[in-house]
Structure 1
Amino acid sequence: MISAVLFDLDGTLADTALDLGGALNRLLAEEGRPAVAYERIRPIASHGARGLVELGFGIARDAPGFDDLRLRFLDHYEDGFCNQTVLFEGINPMLEALAARGLAWGIITNKPMRFTDRLVPTLGFSVPPAVVVSGDTVGVPKPDPRPMRYACEAMGVQPGACWYVGDAERDIAAGRAVGMRTVLADYGYIADTDHPETWGADWRIQSPLELLALLPPKQV
């Protein structure tokens, strides 16, 4: 039985890489450093502010000044977090098909509430999410399983009756930790250095609409 499908946001529902990259390159320009090409930014976009600062500045997360750069990156993202962000092709038809089957859907993202709460309403979802859980909603982000449990409690469903779709290792780990079936979005932000075949997803899809073919026969 399946009652709901939950999704990551960046790289799974929405293509946010251009706006994230824009914030990084504005910060780099401010520091007198060269811009990073989009082709290098896209595979790292799901790693959030920390991953992008690592990429742009070539420093480790425990380096002096790293957290200041991260906070400044977020300020630049604040200035353009919905300029070029759009839903991936096929998202709305997929959500409409889920709704037609009586399945609820929701979002569990590591993006902070300061962005999620304003970005999600601008994306044009044809079916509104039943729940939106941000990276700081419960005080800890994925791969900690608490955001997953919180979403299920808010929707009134059991984790075992949910699927989770995401494009990062932490997505699959968090879903598996609470007993959800997991789907890896191969169309998302996966780097050449990643090894998704080791992450343990139940299924992998090349486009959002491929999810529909994985669903069990319609329940009556």
Structure 2
Amino acid sequence: MQTPNEIEPRSIKAVVFDLDGTLLDTAPDFVYVLNKLRDEENLPPLDATTIRNTVSDGARALVTLGFGLLESDDGFEPLRLRLLALYTKHLAVKSAPFAGITELLKFIQDQKLSWGIATNKPEVYTTPLLAALDLTPDCVICPDHVENRKPHPESMHLAAKLLHCAPEEIIYVGDHARDIECGREAGCPTIAAAYGYINNHDDIDSWQATHRVSHAQEMIAIIQRYLAKS
């Protein structure tokens, strides 16, 4: 894995983020929703940290976590739909940008770089969430917009098209192995967000990200070094 001192000379024109666990801390709303659903099923609440570490894996993983069911089990799909219905009503109550993200976005915009989002979160949830938090990225790519969701690199190829640059001119930031694989396969430099929703069994170094950060503001120095090489 490269360090900032080993950055290759290249022109960077944009920074694209994964959403849940990278740009936004959405876990508090998922904690509420999953435990609300468990309460309706007469089950005790789960520990918030346990839920938090599963958020990046999506609604299906949360149903499996909350109720011990596989997708093929009877009762799985009704629970998933109820979970999503609850989430629709509670998707921006406690969600907020991670510490340092506001400053990072300001820096990106001050440098006249574009920024965007490439997420596996469906558009029906992504759009109202961004609106509620008054975030206006230059592009937003959801599974609805591609034939192949992450880890396939299609999302980053579409981002490059929408942002009028080459994939290798985009830094892609994510908190999951599939994010880094998506960016790497598209030819993007990548940043692993170690502050995100990382499962205990995850080995971040095995993702082969170009960089790794423990706080969002650490990305400013990384971007500056890329810009210095432009």
5+ residue gaps, structure 1: none
Where 1:190 maps in the other structure, the secondary structure is coil
Deviation of residue 139 (structure 1)?
4.2
Where 1:132 maps in the other structure, the secondary structure is strand
Aligned residue for 1:177?
185
How far apart, in 1, do the equivalents of 2:155 and 2:77 lie? 24
Deviation of residue 217 (structure 1)?
3.9
User: In the alignment, is residue 168 of structure 1 matched against residue 205 of structure 2?
Assistant: no
How far apart, in 2, do the equivalents of 1:82 and 1:152 lie? 28
5+ residue gaps, structure 2: 1-10
Q: Which residue identity is paired with 2:14?
A: A
How far apart, in 2, do the equivalents of 1:99 and 1:218 lie? 16
Q: Is the 8 A contact 2:12 2:227 kept in 1?
A: no
How far apart, in 1, do the equivalents of 2:152 and 2:78 lie? 25
Give the TM-score of the pair, scaled to structure 2.
0.90
Q: Is the 8 A contact 2:172 2:183 kept in 1?
A: yes
Deviation of residue 66 (structure 1)?
1.9
* Structure number with higher relative contact order (C-alpha < 8 Å, ≥ 6 residues apart): 2
Aligned residue for 1:63?
73
Deviation of residue 156 (structure 1)?
1.1
Superposition pairs of residues 9-88 of structure 1, within 5 angstroms: 9-88=19-98
Instruction: After superposing the two structures, state which structure 1 stretch, 57-66 or 197-206, moved more.
Output: 57-66
1:160-195 per-position Cα deviation (integer Å, ceiling 9, x unaligned): 111100101110011111111110000000011112
Where 1:136 maps in the other structure, the secondary structure is helix
Deviation of residue 33 (structure 1)?
1.8
For these two proteins, the number of residue pairs brought into alignment is 218
How far apart, in 2, do the equivalents of 1:82 and 1:20 lie? 10
How far apart, in 1, do the equivalents of 2:143 and 2:127 lie? 11
1:69-93 per-position Cα deviation (integer Å, ceiling 9, x unaligned): 2122111101100110011111111
Structure 1 runs, 4 residues or longer, greater than 4 Å off: none
Seen in structure 2, the aligned counterparts of structure 1 residues 136 and 217 have a Cα distance that, compared at 3 Å, is closer
Seen in structure 2, the aligned counterparts of structure 1 residues 98 and 218 have a Cα distance that, compared at 3 Å, is farther
Q: Percent identity?
A: 40
Where 2:200 maps in the other structure, the secondary structure is coil
User: In the alignment, is residue 196 of structure 1 matched against residue 204 of structure 2?
Assistant: yes
How far apart, in 2, do the equivalents of 1:152 and 1:54 lie? 35
Q: Is the 8 A contact 1:166 1:185 kept in 2?
A: yes
